[in-house]
Amino acid sequence: HVPADFAKRGILTTKPPLTLRDASHRSWPVHFMQYPSRATLTKGWSSFVKENHLVVGDICVFKLVTGTDDVLE
């Protein structure tokens, strides 16, 4: 789930791939899909979840890497 107010600002590119990077600088390409009422991360998100041992209820906070429109840490 990507907060709708953030997605509506148009900061992220919807042209795949978007890159997620963790604190160890490992990277995962994912697709960012934006719809009128919601936005979500798809293709590649499940790998990120699995490799970071995320479970339902966990919260991830990403920041956009300065100077990019497609890399989140």
* Tens of pLDDT, residues 56-70: 999 888 887 877 767
Contact 39, 33 (CB under 8 A): yes
Q: Can you tell me the distance from the alpha carbon of 9 to that of 55, in angstroms, rounded to the nearest whole number? A: 28
Reported pTM: 0.78
Which helix (H) or strand (E) element contains residue 19?
Answer: strand 18-21
CATH architecture of 4-72: Beta Barrel (2.40)
> Which residues are within 8 A (CB) of 70 and not within 5 positions of it... i.e. 6 or more apart?
12, 13, 15, 17, 18, 19
For the chain, the domains span 4-72
Sites in the chain below the pLDDT cut of 50: none
Nearest to 28 by CA among 41, 15, 39: 41
